[in-house]
Amino acid sequence: MDAEAIRETFQAFGPVGTRRMFGGQGVYRDGLMFALESGGELYLKVDDESLGFFRDLGSRPFGYRTKDGRTVVMSYWLMPESALDDPDEAARLARMAFEAALRTKAAAAKRAKKPSSPARTSKKRSEPAL
């Protein structure tokens, strides 16, 4: 799927851009990746709040094999084929994915700002003067 086809799929959602990555493309809106394309398939960002929805659709997660044979599964799930031909459905799902990406970004920022526990300071006892 080329960049123009991706833009057309999400036209009802609004302007999106793509960037090449790992043999596929990241799909971005306002600088935030909410979808990815790999092997001609579109996958949408999910989080704990939206995962059940995609699971109920019978979707599946995006995964890939590493050079050492491990399988890595990411938090992007296959967009239903029906949405590829229905701009309104594609826009609704893109909004869900974009909101999941926003929540994920906010959670990461919160974790990064979380103060670490203060280092325990040992109190030195003053030695009596001799």
pLDDT in tens, 11-43: 999 999 999 988 899 999 999 999 999 999 999
Per-position b or e across 5-23, b if 16+ CB within 10 A of its CB? ebeebbeebeebebeeeee
Residue 130 has pLDDT above 60, yes or no: no
CA-atom Rg of the chain in angstroms: 22
CA gap 26, 45 in Å, rounded:
11
CB neighbourhood size of 121 (10 A): 6
Residue 125 has pLDDT above 60, yes or no: no
pLDDT in tens, 79-117: 999 999 999 999 999 999 999 999 999 988 888 886 655
Mean pLDDT rounded to a whole number for the chain: 89
CA gap 102, 94 in Å, rounded:
12
- Where does the chain have alpha helices with state H? 3-9, 51-56, 81-84, 87-113
pLDDT in tens, 55-64: 999 999 999 9
Q: Write down the pLDDT at residue 72.
A: 93
Q: Write down the pLDDT at residue 122.
A: 47
Number of domains within the chain:
1
Structural domain for 47, as ranges: 3-106
CATH number of the domain within which 100 lies: 3.30.1460.30
**Which tokens go with 82?**
């029906």
8 A C-beta contact, residue 83 and residue 90: yes
Q: Write down the pLDDT at residue 112.
A: 86
Phi, psi of 55 (to 5 degrees): -60, -45
Residue 56 lies in a domain: yes
Q: Write down the pLDDT at residue 121.
A: 46
